[in-house]
Amino acid sequence: MNRACPAEDILREVWERIAFYTVASEDTFLGPPSELCSLVMTSRRMHEKLSWKHNTHLYARIFRLKFDAQAPERRLSERWLTTRCLTIELIDRFEVLHRIKAKQFKLEDLWKAYLM
């Protein structure tokens, strides 16, 4: 098999750590984890390692970094605290915030922001 990029052979866990610290820096803390787009779009194999559909552990970790995760842990059952649920919640929250910023929000978006 011919590899265009030797970086693709680096373990998924290492790329996950690189991606997390890219998002966790002081310069990129606020806002959605848009810095990951460059890494995810590098190649098909990188997409498989770092996209939210294939790596919910990374995005749940990002959720815990960017939002108060203790409140859901106190209020919700364990089934709502899976990495998949936290990943979906991360995406949903940033979509809500984007709509509010663009002044194209719905009433549900305001309730979601209030509950955040």
CA distance 97 to 107: 13
The structure's pTM equals: 0.83
Residues 6+ apart with CB under 8 A from 96: 105, 109, 112, 113
| Residue whose token pair is 């089934």 | 79
Token pair recorded at residue 65: 């970094």
Show pLDDT as tens, one digit a residue, over the chain (116 residues).
555 677 777 888 899 999 999 888 877 778 888 888 888 888 888 888 899 999 999 999 999 999 888 877 777 777 788 999 999 999 999 999 999 999 998 999 998 888 77
CA dihedral 22, 27, 30, 32 (to 10 degrees): -40
